[in-house]
Amino acid sequence: MSLTIGQVLSGARWGYCITEPLTGDGSHAALVYKARVSPGSTTSVNEQDMPEWAVIKCPSPLRAQRDFTRLDLKREWEAYQHPSIANSPYIRKLYDLIGNPEDFDDKTGETRPCLALEWMDMTLQDLTPKLDKRAYKLIVAIIEAVMESILCFSEAKVVDTDTKPGNFLLSNIDTDHPTVKIGDLGLVLPCTHPRTNVQPLPMRAPEVFLGFPCTTKSQVWSCAASLLFWLKPSLLGSSSDDGDGLRGSCIDVLPTPWCLAKLRRLFPAWRDRPVAGDVRRKAEWALSEDHLEELPAPLKRIGCLEEEMGRLGMVRELRGVMGLMLVTDPKERFGPREVLASGEMRALREVVSTGGMDLDEE
Ligand SMILES: Nc1ncnc2c1ncn2[C@@H]1O[C@H](COP(=O)(O)OP(=O)(O)O)[C@@H](O)[C@H]1O
Ligand SMILES: [Mg+2]
């Protein structure tokens, strides 16, 4: 059963009146709604910082999706039990759990635990890609928010394995101070979690493709890959993730080797190999080699990273920061703190705040 327009949910802090369902990019399985916030029944103190809007997220009522959306919500709720995550200004705030924590494990599907979360205007995925002044301001804010959020996750000894444009929440994008927050903590996993094949394909770090765990540094990669993917979807990921050029051209190929082949075009010096003894990944690597030998047109069109960033018309300062994050060897890749403190990041902040970019449009 889904929620209905006008239905009011009562949380411990506030009330939430459902106003509309949110469809997002269609990739999410949970039910997500916009809701108007009203004072709770408990105290008037809560009204002081009461927001106007909230997002309500609840498990899918569909049998096929019910269990995993419940598990995702449970993980999201658990992530907020870490103070570094709950209190971070770079992560969407949790307002209320409507229901009980035990409801997440209710296999009957009779209870319906919901999370009430902070409202934001849009996601990066909703925004038309264009490298103008506004986008540069946003990109600086995104890099800062993602790096800061990675530090919060790392303090809580977890990794966010779902870094992607659809989970970068944005507000005030037409001002000098856009707000960026990371949303959707459903795939936040303990650092020691054995799960592999994590991260969406276009944003997946090279070491994760090779069968190694997803780490803090893998999230740094995903941040830069998200920006690249937003600007030019055909550069990363499988056919179904592509926004142009490559669609339909790899219908007969498996997604992972195809993604690997694209990465190897972008990073021709990538020399690492899959985890020893991992038969599946070895086979994927070999298939990517076949693609590179045949070099069909869509792959041929992909140049190395520097070339592609040049084609996109990225300013030198942004290319510098991207170059710290998009390093195939995680040992050589900058960590979140290093990116934030780097001379390259300083130069990017500087050029963006003074508006000194040499843009095509001007
Ligand atoms: N705080 C928010 N403000 C505005 N829209 C949101 C917000 N949170 C989510 N959305 C919309 O709902 C979609 C799904 O939300 P998300 O939390 O990412 O759930 P899922 O786990 O299903 O991906 C987002 O991609 C976005 O379009
Ligand atoms: Mg999402």
Residue predicted with more confidence, 173 or 43 = 173
Tell me the ligand closest to 71's alpha carbon: 1
Dist. CA 341–CA 28, nearest whole Å: 34
pLDDT-wise least confident of 58-72, 114-128, 139-153, 191-205: 58-72
- DSSP letter for 51, please: -
SS3 39: strand
Mean pLDDT over 14-18 rounds to: 95
Residue predicted with more confidence, 6 or 362 = 6
Q: Hey, which of 58, 66, 96, 123 would you mutate to test ligand 1's pocket, going by the most ligand atoms within 8 Å of its Cβ?
A: 123
Residue 104 has pLDDT above 50, yes or no: yes
Mean pLDDT over 62-75 rounds to: 85
Given this model, what pLDDT does residue 107 score? 76
Determine if ligand 1 sits within 6 Å of the CB of residue 188: no
Q: Could you tell me the strand order of the sheet in which 168-171 lies?
A: 122-123, 168-171, 179-182
Residues by chain with Cβ below 5 Å of ion ligand 2: 28, 167, 184
pLDDT-wise least confident of 22-31, 262-271, 353-362: 353-362
Mean pLDDT over 355-361 rounds to: 72
Mean pLDDT over 158-182 rounds to: 96
Residue 246 has pLDDT above 50, yes or no: no
Given this model, what pLDDT does residue 42 score? 66
Q: Provide the pLDDT confidence category of residue 61 given band limits of 50, 70 and 90.
A: confident
Residue 252 has pLDDT above 70, yes or no: no
Determine if ligand 1 sits within 6 Å of the CB of residue 170: no
Determine if ligand 1 sits within 6 Å of the CB of residue 184: yes
Q: How far is the CA of 184 from the centre of ligand 2 (A)?
A: 5
Given this model, what pLDDT does residue 249 score? 47
pTM of the model: 0.93
Determine if ligand 1 sits within 6 Å of the CB of residue 55: yes
Terminal-to-terminal C-alpha distance of the chain:
52
Mean pLDDT over 224-236 rounds to: 96
Residue predicted with more confidence, 296 or 169 = 169
Residue 251 has pLDDT above 50, yes or no: no
Dist. CA 128–CA 115, nearest whole Å: 29
What the chain holds in terms of domains, given with CATH numbers, is 8-118 (3.30.200.20), 122-354 (1.10.510.10)
Residue 245 has pLDDT above 50, yes or no: no
Residue 8 has pLDDT above 50, yes or no: yes
Q: Please check whether residue 198 is in contact with residue 163, taking contact to mean a CB–CB distance below 8 angstroms.
A: no
Q: How far is the CA of 78 from the centre of ligand 2 (A)?
A: 17
DSSP per-residue string spanning 121-132: SEEGGGSPP--S
Q: Provide the pLDDT confidence category of residue 244 given band limits of 50, 70 and 90.
A: very low
Mean pLDDT over 12-25 rounds to: 90
Residue 240 has pLDDT above 80, yes or no: no
Q: Which atom of ligand 1 is nearest to the CA of 166?
A: 25
Determine if ligand 1 sits within 6 Å of the CB of residue 219: no
Residue 95 has pLDDT above 50, yes or no: yes
105-156 pLDDT, tens digit per residue, is 887 777 889 999 999 999 999 999 999 999 999 999 999 999 999 999 999 9
Q: How far is the CA of 74 from the centre of ligand 2 (A)?
A: 15
pLDDT-wise least confident of 65-74, 150-159, 182-191, 239-248: 239-248
Tell me the ligand closest to 55's alpha carbon: 1
Q: Hey, which of 2, 55, 76 would you mutate to test ligand 1's pocket, going by the most ligand atoms within 8 Å of its Cβ?
A: 55
DSSP per-residue string spanning 247-291: TTTTTTS-HHHHHHHHHHHH-TT----PPTT-HHHHHHHHHHHHH
